[in-house]
Structure 1
């Protein structure tokens, strides 16, 4: 290998080494209380910042600065005395960022845990905060993370308003349907006609294979619940369960019984009719 080839090989190796320190494989919601880097621009400049949760604003980025990575893998940034704060509210999406290795934080002149973060960590083990964080993570479809908070809240006060149904949402999301059924039935003992709780129970029962039980809950909801918000969805979940089983007889019976609810929602109407056509073939 001649000198020019050797030089080019070493440069390429250094660049690959530098880049490999940053793996852009994390969603925003996976980076709570972490320093992250965003993909470099065309000049090789990375923006970075600290992601945390503001109880009022939700997922938030405290902007740090920019840096480059030299051919030895060192993170290069200008040391500055920060005089102002730039915060950006982050919407959970599929954009990917990289966790900055702890060993590189000194090169960026930042602490692993910023001093200002303590202002957002007050009462972090209170049931209000645990419930709120679990609720937010469920809303971002990060149900496993949500359960970390909700199960802690459940140990403090299982009767906390809304907690059981939020737990059930996580369990349904994670396909732990029997756990969802168990906690929802307890919730319904206290408030038997809550429309949202019944909706989650109907979904869990269908996924758990108890379709007749789901039917019975549906009938109760149709007849007794004043809140009709989820009637179409409830009817569809039962219908879909029979469709998946290819149970044509019960599919047709439920299609006829719940027809007014199935036909009152345009998307559900279309899906229901499509399933009915496919079962005829």
Structure 2
């Protein structure tokens, strides 16, 4: 039995040389960690290493994407073999980030060859709330947060079927739809969300974005104005304003651009990214 000491770390890319040529046919290091949830995985090794680290990736409901290091393995003439390691006696976890290197997912045959269960027993303690609306919404949030919105849809839609107005769910679902350019689906979700809660400016921010990207400029402007009027967050106001300024920059409508540029500068901090966008648009106005 593993002892109860748990170490945490965050994985980053280091300037080291990894050796993959000798295991090209065995491992394919072509998956991001968010594509390997609830899977056994192997990470690339350094050129000087003789073994690979064997891990299991899951989502911690409180902490997000996590890699649990299990042991080490080697590639032999007879296939894969677990190697005795210090990791055998310590639970060592890494919180994963966008700088985490790509990994290889073990095939079902490789999992069987190593004598591994489909999922480790300890995973059950992290799945106690699985299937609840709260849990599914949180899973969707974590996928959205790392830019994997397509993967976010599965848990979010399951939650939406059960309790569509659960706090945070409609925003995450509409955000995911917008991120993968399914703007009409985002609009459907957001219109129902606003009927239920007309005071959440995040709904208006996402809805304005949907209309903007469908080139429904009048609707986008109407929605953004409403969102700005009810928001108490200057940053969000500046984001909505700069989106409309960009739209009118692209349409070369100077009068409307100036209106929204002024609003952007009103709410954006001096020297901020959105304020600089306005400077850039103005500098490029006469270019085709």
TM-score bracket for the superposition, by shorter chain length: 0.7 to 0.9
What's 2:16 paired with? Answer: none
Higher Rg of the two aligned structures: 1
Tell me which moved more, 164-173 or 34-43: 34-43
SS in 1 for 2:68: strand
Unaligned runs of 5+ in 1: 1-14
Alpha-carbon contact 1:77-1:107 (below 8 Å) kept = no
How far is 1:147 from its partner?
0.5
Q: Deviations over 1:198-248 (max 9, x none)?
A: 11111111001111111112222333433433111111111222333xx21
Is the contact made by 2:71 and 2:84 (CA closer than 8 Å) also made in structure 1? no
CA contact (8 A) 1:127 1:157 kept: yes
Q: 2:255 aligns with which of 244, 247, 253?
A: 253
Q: Is the 8 A contact 1:21 1:101 kept in 2?
A: no
The DSSP-based 3-state class of the residue aligned with 2:83 is coil
Write out per-residue CA displacement over residues 44-63 of structure 1, whole angstroms, 9 at most, x where no aligned residue: 32111111111122211111
SS at match of 1:158: coil
1:36 matched residue in structure 2: 41
The residue matched to 1:24 in structure 2 has which SS?
coil
Match of 1:111 among 106, 109, 117: 117
Alpha-carbon distance, 1:170 to partner: 0.4
TM-score of the pair, normalised by structure 2? 0.83
What is the rounded CA distance, in whole Å, between the counterparts of 1:78 and 1:219 in structure 2?
62
Deviation of 1:106 after TM superposition, in Å, equals 4.2
**In structure 2, what is the equivalent of residue 10 of structure 1?**
none
SS in 2 for 1:22: coil
1:273 correspondence with 2:279: yes
**1: CA distance between counterparts of 2:140 and 2:73?**
34
**1:76: Cα distance to partner?**
2.8
Q: How does 1:1-80 map to 2 (within 5 A)?
A: 18-41=23-46, 42-70=48-76, 72=77, 74-78=79-83
Please state if 1:211 is matched with 2:217.
yes
Shift of 1:273: 2.5
What is the deviation of 1:85?
2.0
Q: Structure 2: which 5+ runs fail to align?
A: 1-19
Cα deviations across residues 35-80 of structure 1 (Å, max 9, x unaligned)?
Answer: 111112223321111111111222111111112212x361233368
Written as runs of structure 1 = structure 2, the 5 A alignment for 1:224-243 is 224-243=230-249
CA RMSD, Structure 1 to Structure 2 (Å): 2.2
Structure 1 residue aligned with 2:4: none
> Distance between the aligned counterparts of 1:203 and 1:18, measured in 2?
46
Deviation of 1:82 after TM superposition, in Å, equals 4.5
Contact kept in structure 2, 1:207 and 1:241, CA below 8 Å = no
Classify the secondary structure of the residue corresponding to 2:279: helix
Give the number of equivalent residue pairs.
Answer: 262
SS state of the match for residue 150, structure 2?
Answer: helix
Give 4+ residue runs of structure 1 displaced > 6 Å after superposition.
none
Q: Is the 8 Å Cα contact of residues 195 and 227 (structure 1) preserved in structure 2? A: no
Alignment match, 2:9:
none
- Once residues 29 and 216 of structure 2 are traced to their aligned partners in structure 1, the CA distance between those partners, rounded to angstroms, is 42
CA shift at 1:276, angstroms? 2.7
Q: Which SS does the other structure have where 1:26 is aligned? A: coil
Aligned 8 A contact 1:76 1:108 in 2: yes
More deviation, 258-267/202-211: 258-267
TM-score by structure 1 length? 0.85
